[in-house]
Amino acid sequence: MITEIQLSNKKIIVDLSEPLDLSITLSGDENNPIAWYLDEPKITPVQEGKWIAKVSEGASVNFNNLYFNPHAHGTHTECVGHISEEFYSVNKALKQFFFTAKVISLVPENYGEDAVISKKQLQHYLSKNEAEALVIRTLPNTKKKRRRKYSHTNWPYLLEEAAIYIRECGIKHLLIDLPSVDKEKDDGQLLAHRAFWNYPENTRKDATITELIYVSNKIEDGNYLLNLQIASIKNDASPSKPVLYKII
């Protein structure tokens, strides 16, 4: 379905019949990705005495409880409430859902014992006011990311200078295929989070970070329309479903 869409600053034409889903499906088993030292999520039927809310067990419906952490168990979108003393809900921070987006692919650089994304790297791919959202795919990129166990792996991360550059380029919505834009063990500094949200000096309450996405190798680097959808949950973060559409 070819559609013309009016965004805040331009009109674009996209094919809505070919969505490119960046989200990782939440599953209550070992195939689910996990970070932050938690166990796998659980999806279990409600049980009351001998009654089990499962059709295969004789119930009339399937009626499951879900136990998961949005930050640790899959694709999620967060707002500045993730790091602030004051409470902010991502459900109120994200009020629009369509954005111009740029997809880029980067091999993180060696930085001591770490692997990082630097400002110098980003300058080759991103210019000021080029897009509203930035999607970063780290290389190498394999399907194993969709079920990787990230705890104690010291994953790649953004240097503070890189997060500042992204902010200064006008990016309001940052998406990345890692559990965090920051170093796994950084003594709570959260430099990239703070720099992107410009917290606490001039906080960008309407900016979001989406982590643990998966960008298929079939998706080429370039410009897209992003539809960023979250669940209506009053929390600093929510499971989310970012979807790209090719711009024609």
pLDDT exceeds cutoff 80 at 9: no
Going by pLDDT thresholds of 50, 70 and 90, the confidence category of residue 5 is confident
H-run or E-run covering 90? helix 90-93
pTM of the predicted model as reported, rounded to 2 decimal places: 0.96
Residue 6, pLDDT score? 84
Q: pLDDT tens-digit profile of 168-210? A: 999 999 999 999 999 999 999 999 999 999 999 999 999 999 9
Q: pLDDT tens-digit profile of 203-241? A: 999 999 999 999 999 999 999 999 999 999 999 999 999
Q: Using alpha carbons only, what angle is made at residue 185 by residues 171 and 217, rounded to the nearest 5 degrees?
A: 50
The SS3 assignment for 123 reads helix
Residue 142, pLDDT score? 96
- The CATH code of the domain that includes 103 is 3.50.30.50
Residue 211, pLDDT score? 98
Residue 113 in any domain: the answer is yes
Residue 8, pLDDT score? 72
pLDDT exceeds cutoff 80 at 46: yes
Residue 76, pLDDT score? 98
Q: pLDDT tens-digit profile of 114-169? A: 999 999 999 999 999 999 999 999 999 999 999 999 999 999 999 999 999 999 99
Residue 30 in any domain: the answer is no
Residue 43 in any domain: the answer is no
Residue 145 in any domain: the answer is yes
| Residue 93, phi then psi, degrees to nearest 5 | -70, -35
Rounded CA separation 229/238 (Å): 9
Count of domains observed in the chain: 1
Rounded CA separation 170/158 (Å): 17
Instruction: Give me the domain span that covers residue 79.
Output: 2-25+70-246
State mean pLDDT over 4-15: 84
In 3D space, the residue among 237, 222, 225 whose CA is nearest the CA of residue 11 turns out to be 225
Q: Are 33 and 146 in contact (CB under 8 A)?
A: yes
Six-digit token string for 77: 């979108």
Q: Are 33 and 125 in contact (CB under 8 A)?
A: no
Q: Are 172 and 130 in contact (CB under 8 A)?
A: no
Residue 15 in any domain: the answer is yes
Residue 42 in any domain: the answer is no
Please, which residues have CB within 8 angstroms of residue 115's CB and are 6 or more apart in sequence?
A: 108, 109, 155, 156, 157
Residue 30, pLDDT score? 92
